[in-house]
Amino acid sequence: MIRFAFKHVCIDSYAVNLPPNEMTSAEIEDRLAPLYKRLQIPMGTLEKLSGIRSRHLWDVKVLPSEVATVAATKALEKSGIERSQIGALFSCSVTRDNFEPATACIIHHNLELGEQSLAFDISNACIGFSDGLMMLGNLIESGIVKAGIVVSGENVARIVDNNLKTLLREEALTRDDLIELLPTLTLGSGAVAYVLCHDSISTHKHRLLGGALRTATQHSELCSGNADSCATDKNVESILMRTESSKIIAAASKLGSRLWPETSEVLGWKREDVQHIFCHQVGRQVNEAFYREMGLDYQKEYTIYREYGNMVSAALPTALALGVDDKPVRKGEKVLCTAFGSGLNGVFYGIEW
């Protein structure tokens, strides 16, 4: 277990960039109709199991750096931070442009940031963005940089499309195979960026206070992809992810039950002090029983998965960016973020809005 606490770190601004193309679960199942018929799977199973009605996707040719640059530009424009003050940029997406250079380098160039700043990728499944916040927060708290950007640009269109083609092509697939492959079809695309800075130069002063993290790698086999692909790799025709959903959800809830008491101690918050909760947007599997296991109040959660699906590393930060305006979250209120990623990793952190 690792704990971290900040006194001077603020989220100064945030922005999202969402794809225009909607794909419903019903549309996906229409394409899978021959497989459903062969395996005697009722139509509507995908939405019934996941709670996800739709997801949004870019064209397969759209690069993660392109959509991430748009989100980062918006976030910078909303902040009071000059480009010359940006000391670090972390790109935290699972999907990326190339094996090298780091996608962060491309975004850094697109934003015309200077040589005096860091730029590198942080890759850690769906928890990457939260890892980026922790990393940047520590750089700001220690005085190494005054401000920085955490960004994720996810384009999962090729992964979803290849998954559908494989499901229809492989005649030996069983019902058990289908259950392990269906979670890939809950994925959606999106981009999100946060500008973090020292409180001495922050305009909006949403305080990132700290939290705790744990890494439970005994569960690392529960969700895995068969290829380390990038957006410009046109030779990968069969990218597949296999997920044992029930097992990884159960393991995540137990990990959360260990993380919340530690986070509570760092923040000095009791369960009843938390006014808003944003969890990784995996689907309806993160339910009331999941929250009971963690010791948190399910009624305080805000979700976007029904409309946007599981947006991989962009999921939780996008939910927060949309939710603070939609709920709304008022100044001084306590926000708890509970991030999970296959591996299995968990990091909880608190924000005083």
Point out the residues that are catalytic: 100, 126
SS3 260: helix
Burial of 25 (0-12, 13-18, 19+ CB in 10 A): buried
3-state helix, strand, coil in the chain (%, to 5): 40, 25, 35
Q: What are phi and psi of 294, to 5 degrees?
A: -80, -20
* Separation CA 69–CA 63 (nearest Å): 10
Four-point Cα dihedral 250, 251, 253, 256, nearest 10: 180
The token pair at 297 is 């109040």
Check if the beta carbon of residue 93 is closer than 8 Å to that of residue 311.
Answer: no
